[in-house]
Amino acid sequence: MKKFYNLYLLVALIFLVSCEKESTAPGTDNKDAKLVSLTSSPWVIEEAIVHIKYNYTFDTEMTLDTTFNMFAGLPACNKDLLFLFNSNKNFELKAGTTYCGQAIPKDPYKWEEKDNFGQLLIIGKNAGGIVYNSTTQTSTTISDTLQLEMKEFSDTNFMAVYNVPLANMYASMGLTEEVVEMMKAFGVEFSAKMEVTYKWKKK
């Protein structure tokens, strides 16, 4: 059985096994002010909403369209994980004072912004996701860059969306473009979309 995790989904895996200013659209406010806001304090994830839509057709059609919050129902101590976007462009994960989850990954990561914070990139080992095979207990890297599309940004909150690169995930599982085309030749059609909406709050 294979599972997919990105940098923040890996954080969710750790959890499972163990006066606000008005928001402004990205790209319309002062870049320096956003930089100061992002780097001046740690952030925590309030919600991580996953939306998966999948359609498969062969002899019959199967459709999946589901939405869920990865962090719903988790104890507060498991959620006390700090995300630091440092001014030197290093990105870190640190335990908060009440954190009770398992060990935190210590791999080095960098962050950068594009288009006046229209995008936020996290760069480092497996940042863009991995596929984990629980049968063989092996994992395959999808990408070392996590690309977040910024939707809202204020001094105390921001929201960003990760569109999971499913083509890369399929390829890592052996479903290359050639294999997909061969499947289509035999009458197999499928399409899928997966996005994760992260809602952050300044600690």
Beta strand pairing status for 109-114 and 90-95?
antiparallel
- 140 Cβ contact partners less than 8 Å away, ≥ 6 residues apart: 130, 131, 133, 172, 173
Q: What is the average per-residue pLDDT within 108-127? A: 94
CA distance 178 to 160: 33
CA distance 54 to 156: 35
Q: What is the pLDDT of residue 111?
A: 97
What's the CA angle centered on 86, arms 83 and 108, to 5 degrees?
Answer: 70
CA distance 195 to 4: 12
Query: Taking the model in full, what pTM does it have?
Result: 0.74
Which of 15-29, 66-80, 84-98, 161-175 is the most confident on average?
84-98
- Over 90: is that where the pLDDT of 156 sits? yes
Q: Which pLDDT band holds residue 10 (cuts at 50, 70, 90)?
A: very low
The mean-pLDDT minimum among 4-8, 36-40, 130-134, 158-162 falls in 4-8
How many CB atoms sit inside 10 A of residue 4's CB? 16
Which of 46-60, 85-99, 121-135 is the most confident on average?
85-99
Q: What is the pLDDT of residue 171?
A: 67
Higher pLDDT, 59 or 145: 145
- What are 74-115's pLDDT values in tens digits? 888 888 899 999 999 999 999 999 998 878 888 899 999 999
Q: What is the pLDDT of residue 165?
A: 82
* Average confidence score pLDDT of the chain: 81
- Over 50: is that where the pLDDT of 67 sits? yes
- Over 80: is that where the pLDDT of 168 sits? no
Q: What is the average per-residue pLDDT within 181-202? A: 86
Q: How far is CA 149 from the centre of its chain?
A: 11
